[in-house]
Structure 1
Amino acid sequence: MTTTGTHPTPSAPQQQRGGEADPATAASLFADPARARVLMALVDGRALPASVLADEAGVSAPAASAHLAKLRDGGLVTMEKSGRHRYYRLSGPQVATALEALTALSPPRPVRSLRAHTRAAALRRARSCYDHLAGDLGVQMTAALVTAEALLPTDGIPDTRRRPRDPLSAQLRDHPYALGPRAEEVFTALGVDLAGTTRPSSPTRRPLLRFCLDWTEQRHHLAGRLGAALLTALLTRSWLTPGPRPRTLILTAEGHHHLPDILPLSPEELASTNT
């Protein structure tokens, strides 16, 4: 979905300086079920109109507008206009990180329909985590990047298992990985301009390599600038395609065909991400 205009400046709560942080204020915004569903619909980094978010939250258009106003005032979402329409997106990846962490601590919702069961299963298989790949496919690909020596563990543990001090489902403050000896070869084959991606992303200075502990798989998946570039490349090549609901991703026939030629992924492993 394409929108126009520039991103608005952070709202007042984000710009304030001094004093202790007040987590209760942010927590109150996450605590409402409708607002939580709105935020979860935006976790893939896209900008969505209020009408779509009202449908995701299961509330009326006026109620959705009221919730969005609170989220915007609280600095969790931003709004941009395109023609007569207003589109909303998360204010940054830190909001997505908080949502993923809360998800790991939350009890599952009761599954009362085939639709709810199907969507939950799709999110576990492959989903976007703000702007990078997560779920079963995300951790499979990250593990395969390690096996292919595109990523190199630096702590002596040769895989992507959860380390003893890793937080439950959050971006890791420190991670045990570096680019491996075959990074350029492998990422180029996947469609990533590694040289361009490794240049500092001023003014955000977002790290090239970040990793999350995946909340459904409890293993690491690739995030940061490189994770975002990888997901963009897979979507551009149509090896992945957005699913029918927000955040869900589907591995296409082209992806099934080409990925095992580049990474040590078996067709059976990849098939499990679409069943």
Structure 2
Amino acid sequence: MTLSPPLAALAALLADDTRARFCLALLDGRAWSAGELAAHAGVAASTASEHLSRLIGGGLLTEERQGRHRYVRLAGPGVAQLIEDLAAHAGAGAQPATLRAASATRALAAARTCYDHLAGRLGVMINDALLARSLLRQDAGFALSDAGLSWFATELGVCLPVGGRRLLARPCLDWTERRHHLAGTAGAVLCATALERGWVSRIGSGRALAVTAAGQQALARLLGVTGLAETAP
């Protein structure tokens, strides 16, 4: 029973629509200013500041200041996984209330960032392709194979660190697909590469991504992933 008070306090932090909106927005992995989050959630700056202070005090967010500006981000991958897992559970059966919301939901379901890795239909398809090519293994947990490490080095030009504090690969339950996509260091590297090389581009200021023509070609060549045209804007 000693865990009850901390658990209740954590649940209380997320039991508010504004604070939940902030955390979901920050799943894009970037730092947001207090003003940006206030506008996103449709609340006053003073209200946003109060909510942010509670989230920072509860360990869900970290803060950095540049001059008069206050920026916040999720406290780390563990917090991102917690928020995504809760979203997966809470989103079961939920229906968008408006046409605009339905369009935004479709875009998120097609391709998006989940903190620092790729999610949505795109993320799941990449995960499946890695498994099909034996670059990723699930027979003894969830890990990159030797061939997978070589693939990252030869195809992406990235030598993944072995033995670091963060897992190289871990499964992350996708809240729209109800299947796993790739997280961990490998997932972060793949997402960063896709953004840097223009394989995907952000739609607006949120988490949704569009797969570009260059991305369709690259993913088809590297992993045999096809059928991504529908994710383009």
Same-fold status (TM-score > 0.5): yes
1:187 aligns with 2:152: yes
Q: Secondary structure at the match of 1:244?
A: coil
**Gap regions ≥5 residues in structure 2:** none
In the TM superposition, residue 128 of structure 1 has moved relative to its aligned partner by 1.1
Instruction: Answer yes or no: is 1:270 the counterpart of 2:233.
Output: no
Partner Cα distance (2:194, 2:82) in 1? 26
- What stretches of structure 1 of length at least 5 have no aligned partner? 1-18, 156-175
Q: CA deviation at 1:181?
A: 4.9
| Residue of structure 2 in register with 1:151 after alignment | 136
Contact preservation (8 Å) 1:192, 1:233: no
Q: How many matched pairs?
A: 230
| Deviation string, structure 1 residues 175-233 (Cα, Å, up to 9, x no partner) | x333235324532454251x3x23333xxx01111111212112211111111111111
Conserved? CA contact 1:192–1:229, under 8 Å: no
4+ runs deviating over 6 angstroms: none
Given candidates 65, 78, 95, the residue that maps to 2:49 is 65
Give the equivalent residue in structure 1 for 2:163: 200
Post-superposition offset of 1:58: 1.3
What value does the CA root-mean-square deviation take over the aligned residues?
1.9
Matched, 1:218 2:178: yes
Q: Which of 191, 211, 214 is equivalent to 1:254?
A: 214
Q: Does 1:99 align with 2:83?
A: yes
Give, in whole Å, the separation in 1 of the partners of 2:47 and 2:179: 38
Check the 8 A contact 1:134/1:214 in 2, yes or no. yes
Q: Is the 8 A contact 2:143 2:170 kept in 1?
A: no
The one-letter amino acid paired with 2:220 is P
Displacement of 1:147 in angstroms is: 1.5
User: 1:48 — aligned with what?
Assistant: 32
Shift of residue 84, structure 1, vs aligned partner: 2.4
**Aligned partners of 1:29 and 1:71 also within 8 Å:** yes
Say whether residues 1:136 and 2:121 are aligned partners: yes
